[in-house]
Amino acid sequence: MTVDSLFEQLKHPNPHLRERAMFELVENRDENTIPRLMSVLNDEDVTLRRSAVKTLGVIGVDSVPYLVESLLNSDNVTVRGSCAKALAQIAVNYPDVPFPTEGLQGLQTAINDSNPVVHIAAVMALGEVGSPAFDILAQALKTTDNVAVAVSVVNALASSGDERATEVLKALTTDESADSYVRESAVSALSRLEQIINLNARRSPSS
C-alpha cells in the first residue's frame, strides 16, 4: 500500500484496519512520516487525529522533539492536547526506555497552559512517565493555585507508583490550607498508590 492510502486507512471505521495501517506506517517510516502525522493533529476528523496520536506513540522517542515543539508553540488547542496525549502514549509503550528530558521539560511547561484540556493532559502524561516525573509533579502541587490541576497532579502521583509520592500525599491529607476537594482526592489517591506499589512489588522478581 502507498503511504497516502495508509494515511487514508488511519481514519477507517474498522479499528483493525486502522491499527494495521498504523503499524505499517511505523515499520516503513521515512523522514516525512513524523511531520506528516504531526500535520493531521488538527484535522477535524477525530478518528484520524486519534490514530495519528497513537502512531506517534508507537514510533516512540523519535517523535518527542516534534511533539514538544507543537505542545509549546502551536496556537491550536487541539494540537497541543494531542501532543500531550502522544507523549503519554510513548511513556506507556516504552516503559523501559528512559523518557527524554526534553519531553519532561515540555510537559512541565504545559502544566501552565491556559487551556484545561492541555494542562490536564500534560499532568496525566507525567503520571504515565512515573518516577522520572516525580519532582515535577511534587513541585506543581506546591506552586499551582488551580484546583483542577492540583487534583490531576494528585491522581498522577498515585498512578506513578513512586513510593516518594506517599509522603507528599499524606502531608496533603492533613494540610488545612489546601482546598478540601484536593485533600479528599489525596485520601483516595493514597489507597490507590498503595495498591499500585504492592502490585509492582509482587511483579518484580525478589532480589
Cα 90 from Cα 62, distance rounded (Å): 10
Residue 125 inside a domain? The answer is no
Q: Tell me the pLDDT tens digit for each residue of 127-161.
A: 999 999 999 999 999 999 999 999 999 999 999 88
Q: What is the pLDDT of residue 91?
A: 97
Residue 202 inside a domain? The answer is yes
Are 137 and 198 found together in one domain?
A: yes
Question: Cell digits for 10?
Answer: 488511519
Q: What is the pTM of this model?
A: 0.92
Task: Give, in order, the Cα–Cα distances in Å from 105 to each of 6, 82, 159, 204.
Answer: 33, 17, 19, 29
Q: Which residues 6+ apart lie within 8 Å of 159 measured at CB?
A: 124, 127, 128, 130, 192, 196
For residue 141, give the CATH number of its domain. Answer: 1.25.10.10
17-25 mean pLDDT? 96
Are 8 and 86 found together in one domain?
A: yes
Are 32 and 99 found together in one domain?
A: yes
Q: What is the pLDDT of residue 78?
A: 96
Locus of grid cell 509492582:
200
Residue 51: closest CA among 80, 77, 89: 89
Are 99 and 161 found together in one domain?
A: no
Mean per-residue pLDDT of the chain = 95
Are 5 and 97 found together in one domain?
A: yes
Domain end residue (candidates: 80, 113, 146): 113
Residue 194 inside a domain? The answer is yes
Q: Tell me the pLDDT tens digit for each residue of 88-119.
A: 999 999 999 999 999 999 999 999 999 999 99
Q: What is the pLDDT of residue 206?
A: 56
Are 95 and 135 found together in one domain?
A: no
Question: Which parts of 74-133 fold into alpha helices (H)?
Answer: 77-93, 101-110, 116-129
Residue 121 inside a domain? The answer is no
Q: Tell me the pLDDT tens digit for each residue of 184-200.
A: 999 999 999 999 999 98
CA angle 170, 101, 130 (to 5 degrees): 30
5-17 mean pLDDT? 95
> Is the CA virtual torsion 132, 133, 136, 138 positive or negative?
negative
Q: What is the pLDDT of residue 200?
A: 85
24-42 mean pLDDT? 96
- Domain range spanning residue 46? 1-113
51-62 mean pLDDT? 97
Q: What is the DSSP letter of 28?
A: T
Domain count, the chain: 2
Q: Cβ(123)–Cβ(86) under 8 Å?
A: no
Look at residue 75 and tell me whether its pLDDT is greater than 90: yes
What's at 75, amino acid-wise? D
Are 97 and 177 found together in one domain?
A: no
Are 8 and 101 found together in one domain?
A: yes
Are 139 and 55 found together in one domain?
A: no
Q: At what angle do helices 134-143 and 101-110 cross, to 10 degrees?
A: 20
Look at residue 207 and tell me whether its pLDDT is greater than 50: no
Are 60 and 136 found together in one domain?
A: no
Are 23 and 83 found together in one domain?
A: yes
